Amino acid sequence: SPAPPAMAARARTEEMRDRVVLGEFGVRNVHTTDFPGNYPGYEDAWDQRRFEQAFRVDVIREEEGTLEFDMVGIDAAIANAFRRILLAEVPTMAVEKVFVYNNTSIVQDEILAHRLGLIPIRADPRLFEYRNQGDEEGTEIDTLQFQLKIKCTRNPQAAKESSDPDELYFNHKVYSKHMTWVPLGNQTDLFPDADFRPVHDDILIALLRPGQEIDVLMHCVKGIGKDHAKFSPVATASYRLLPDITLLQPIEDEAAELLQKCFSPGVIEIQNIKGKKVARVANARLDTFSREVFRHEGLKNLVRLARVRNHYIFSVESTGILPPDVLVSEAIKILMGKCQRFLNELDSVPME
């Protein structure tokens, strides 16, 4: 028997509150619901105790340089704040000034400086201060100094008929491993066991030929991605909503096999029940939502595609300067600092 109208209306409201539904043409229920009075009969005012009960963070996968974790029970605005802070506001150290003493390579000075600026430097930015505006000279508390001094020469032992540059020349490839740290002031005492160097040794900076040389000194300073992309600590930081796939009625035999092909591998599995092939959702998380199922007339009304509104799957890929879990905790601290500053402003400004 059909559900009474009140129950059906409640079920519809639940769907609007909890799911973002992907239709054949367009997406439904995309607006945020986190404010009181949005739905009659629901107490949607923000409540700290309720939030603390519902909120959770699950780490799904942590490999070298990559972290995937779920944040459940937050609003899109907060999730997006974390993403943007990771991209543009977590500080790192990067080459800011390049003093060119000699550069006879075919790479122009400014191109060389730009390439050096983009090399990720393995140095914990928390050990350094920001350099003051207008300071030309760096000090040991705000600057790291690197030197790159290299000259290309011929290999006298090379075979006459050889045409391989690796055999003909010495130092003809300038790599990031050729950058050496030059301690400033008392940095040797400040960082006794420090190993300041580029994250990767094998970044190709320039190609040289015999007689050409590069002699530069670099100053690395602390900065944020908002000022220049070279300071961004992540290769990428993104989130997506958890997919939710519902089969509205049993799908069997050929239809089940066709359904399986419509989704990413591993999403739909086919079970053998009493000699019949029956489709079931095995792992919706793996789906990319190509909406291929909507191209098949016989299937498109049998499946509901949705995303869970408050379940965010974050993926953070570090450039190697700091591990991704440290980046996420730094981002949280930065957001807390912003909130604190806002609260202090509210307290200090007299109300009209």
Q: CA 168, CA 352: separation in Å to the nearest integer?
A: 78
For the chain, the distance separating the N- and C-terminal CA atoms, rounded to the nearest angstrom, is: 60
Question: Are 218 and 121 contacting, i.e. CB atoms less than 8 angstroms apart?
Answer: no
Q: What is the pTM of this model?
A: 0.87
Superfamily of domain 92-231: DNA-directed RNA polymerase, insert domain (2.170.120.12)
Judge if 17-90+233-248+302-341 and 92-231 fold alike in CATH terms.
no
Q: What is the pLDDT of residues 22-81, one digit of tens each?
A: 888 888 888 776 677 777 777 777 888 988 999 999 999 999 899 999 999 998 899 999
- Residues 130, 134, 138: CA angle, nearest 5 degrees: 55
DSSP 231: G
Helix (H, G, I), strand (E, B) or coil at 73: coil
- CATH topology for 17-90+233-248+302-341 is Gyrase A; domain 2 (3.30.1360)
Q: Specify the length of the chain in residues.
A: 352
pLDDT number for residue 31? 77
Q: CA 219, CA 144: separation in Å to the nearest integer?
A: 6
pLDDT number for residue 304? 93
Q: CA 27, CA 274: separation in Å to the nearest integer?
A: 38
Question: Are 50 and 307 contacting, i.e. CB atoms less than 8 angstroms apart?
Answer: no
pLDDT number for residue 352? 63
Contacts of 51 (CB under 8 A, 6+ apart): 73
Q: Which residue has the tokens 């796939």?
A: 245
Taking the domains of the chain in order of start, what are their residue ranges? 17-90+233-248+302-341, 92-231
Q: For the chain, which ranges sit under pLDDT 70? A: 1-3, 33-34, 351-352
pLDDT number for residue 181? 95
180-181 vs 144-151, strand pairing mode: antiparallel
Contacts of 187-194 spanning 24+ positions with Cβ under 8 A: 187/140, 190/140, 191/127, 194/123
